[in-house]
Copies of this chain bind each other. A is one copy, B any other.
Amino acid sequence: MTRPAKPPTMADVAKAAGVSPMTVSRAFKRDASVSEPTRRTILETAERLGYIFDSMAAGLSSRRTGFVAVTIPSINNANFADTVRGLVENLRGTGLQILLGYTDYDMHEEERLVEQFLTRRPEAMVLTGGKHTPRCRHLLEKAGIPIIETWDLPADPIDQVVGFSNADAGRMMVRHFVERGCSRLGFIGGDTTRDTRGLDRRRGFVDGLNEAGLDATRLVAAGLPPVSMREGAQALRDLIERWPDTEAVMCVSDLSAFGALTECLRMGIAVPDRLAVAGFGAYEVSELSVPSITTIDVHAERIGAETAACILGRLDDAAAPGIPEPLVPRLLLRQSTGGVGN
């Protein structure tokens, strides 16, 4: 950590290379028109001087910061991580860089984050979910950049949406349980207004029950998000204590489903024979677990990939947005609800 007198600037490189700063600037761009020998000289000089390009100054001048701001509810969630990976991978080589922040499933934290991000002048903004504080929504609407809401299908989108119906996922699971011959169905998680996607799944589940004429009261609150394995285990105890004859339960995510499943093992409840257990999100643990856990794959990485495509489309050509098709969640039948094989 040697602090040299003063880090060299473009002007220093220009002087050392015997050209104007403008030529140096061009040499650092891909397409700019600089003769090949000149460019080489400049890049060599820059390297020799230890010059480091200043993106911040460049952004101030060009009004292109190269930032894409992204908010996710939790940094410790494989689903959102997959989405971010899909995004990053598809933005690679475009000069666009992610500015990542997490909201802890809190709209007010999201607002704070969005406001902070906007001061960085991002070129686009990606949000998880479609529920925001009024002020946050207002800020986003007048930000003048592409806004992409993901992981949801908001009734009144701000701009573009790359998502799927969480309610459909809940309904899909009811159908699966009913086909399997279960009629006393429970749901774990999704009780608070913080995790609106979890709430939507539960809503769809309840709707499905009502449509099938089944009891829709076996709903267990699993605490504040993030609802994980521990909460799933506790919630299963609550469920069984309250409604011992429950035949099947959907959990708001595979993590809580795994917790519930392990609690069944500890309590001596046979899965799926006495109780079928399903999750959501196609986490790795649902596949490896013994028994393996029936779940719903929401193509988390594809959400990221399509979001990247949206952004690139909009930045290249500020044309009409065009809402992409909603993604369709897919049921993965596994042992925990009577599926065969592994």
A residues contacting B by CB (< 8 A) are: 1-4, 7, 50, 52-57, 59-60, 65, 75-76, 78, 81-82, 84-85, 88, 97-102, 116, 118-121, 141-147, 158-159, 228-230, 233, 255, 258-259, 262, 265-266, 284-285, 287-290, 342
- Provide 14 A-B residue pairs closer than 8 Å at the C-beta atoms, listed in order of the A residue: A2-B142, A4-B142, A4-B144, A52-B119, A56-B59, A56-B121, A75-B88, A81-B81, A97-B116, A228-B284, A230-B284, A233-B288, A262-B290, A285-B285
A264's nearest neighbour on chain B, judged by CB, is B290
* B85 lies within 8 A of A141 (CB): no
Identical chains bound together, number: 2
Q: Within 8 Å CB of A116, what residues of B?
A: 97
Contact of A75 among B81, B141, B146 (CB under 8 A): B81
Q: A52-B118, A56-B119 are in contact. List 18 more A-B contacts (CB 8 A).
A: A1-B144, A1-B158, A2-B142, A4-B142, A4-B144, A7-B144, A50-B142, A54-B119, A55-B121, A75-B81, A76-B78, A76-B81, A97-B99, A100-B100, A228-B284, A229-B284, A230-B287, A233-B288
Q: Within 8 Å CB of A266, what residues of B?
A: 290, 342
* A288 lies within 8 A of B265 (CB): no
Main SS at interface, chain A: mixed
Docked CA distance A119–B120 (Å): 15
Docked CA distance A145–B2 (Å): 9
Docked CA distance A258–B287 (Å): 12
- Known A-B contacts A56-B59, A57-B60, A159-B1; the reply to A75 vs B85 at CB < 8 A is yes
A65's nearest neighbour on chain B, judged by CB, is B56
Q: Within 8 Å CB of A88, what residues of B?
A: 75, 102
CB of A138, distance to nearest CB on chain B (Å):
9
- Known A-B contacts A119-B54, A121-B54; the reply to A1 vs B78 at CB < 8 A is no
Q: Within 8 Å CB of A7, what residues of B?
A: 144
Q: Within 8 Å CB of A55, what residues of B?
A: 119-121
Docked CA distance A60–B120 (Å): 12
Docked CA distance A99–B97 (Å): 9
